[in-house]
Amino acid sequence: MDRIADAFARTRAEKRAAFVAYLCAGDPDFDTSLAACRAVIEAGVDVLELGVPFSDPLADGLTNQLAAQRALESGMTIARVLELVRRVRESSQVPIVFYTYYNLVFANGVDAAVHAAKDAGVDGMLVLDLPPEESADFAAACRARGMKSVFIVAPTTPEARLAKICGAATGFIYYVSREGVTGERGEVAGGIGEAVARIKTHTSLPVVVGFGISNRDQVRAVAASQTDGVVVGSALVNVIKTNLATRAAIAAQMKTKAADLVAGVRGAA
């Protein structure tokens, strides 16, 4: 079973981009996080990207840093993140991709980490700080366990490295549309269509675009740039942040927000 390939095959058949939703696993606590995951799935997201909470993130802006801090303070561990995935899998076959850092993969053995994630129901792993030149052990573990790998291309990535990055990925390519860290922005970055076209000269894998995409109009604009998927994270995580005092309301608010964003890839006005 290749849930990632199947999801992108479906959205291609529907002549639209996939919607990828990012949430931090365990934010602000296990039960609320599970409800939030189920809410975005019910809203129609095509891929769920789960951030594995980490104390020293590099690519995360303040919104996602605080989400990871809340998750860690609530007692989230790798074991609890895997349990969260298992609970999501009880009711959904949506592709799940881990957004994580290499310390968390390396700490207890690369093969063991990949095996545990795959066994829980994870389909792909994006290891933010692992360059393809250093990924041999991770790639071998992914091949052995049937785990898809995701790698990042940035606006500053030179042409000479594109082929290497694209060659290392087996799930999809994540194009970071702007320099810096994650976070909501007032407008989308320029040159996305050209960047996606350039990446696609090196791979037949789907190319998704993220960082700084915050509302339905921005989702629609990025989806029109020949990308295969649009990633939104901080705008969803902020739903949790603004409802911390009334956590029981988070799932409903999350579903409403996610449905509005999903409409951007589905052609709704």
What is the model's pLDDT at position 267?
75
CA 269 – CA 267 distance, rounded (Å) = 6
Mapping DSSP onto H, E and C, the string for 194-226 reads: HHHHHHHCCCCCCEEEECCCCCHHHHHHHHCCC
Instruction: Take residue 170 and report the two structure tokens written for it.
Output: 């087996």
Residues in the chain: 269
Domains and CATH numbers, the chain: 3-262 (3.20.20.70)
* DSSP structure class, residue 181: -
Distances from the Cα of 42 to the Cα of 101, 184, 216, 217, 256, angstroms = 28, 23, 17, 21, 10
Burial group, residue 70, by CB count within 10 angstroms (0-12, 13-18, 19+): buried
| Residue pair 146/4 in contact by the 8 Å Cβ criterion | no
What is the model's pLDDT at position 179?
46
What are residue 98's DSSP bridge partners? 50, 125
Print pLDDT tens along the chain (269 aa): 799 999 999 999 999 999 999 999 999 999 999 999 999 999 999 999 999 999 887 766 778 889 999 999 999 999 999 999 999 999 999 999 999 999 999 998 999 999 999 999 999 999 999 999 999 999 999 999 999 999 999 999 998 899 999 999 999 999 997 544 444 444 565 689 999 999 999 999 999 999 889 899 999 999 998 899 999 999 999 999 999 999 999 999 999 999 999 999 997 54
What is the set of active-site residues? Answer: 49, 60
Identify the CA nearest to 153 among candidates 135, 179, 122.
179
CA 5 – CA 243 distance, rounded (Å) = 35
pTM: 0.94
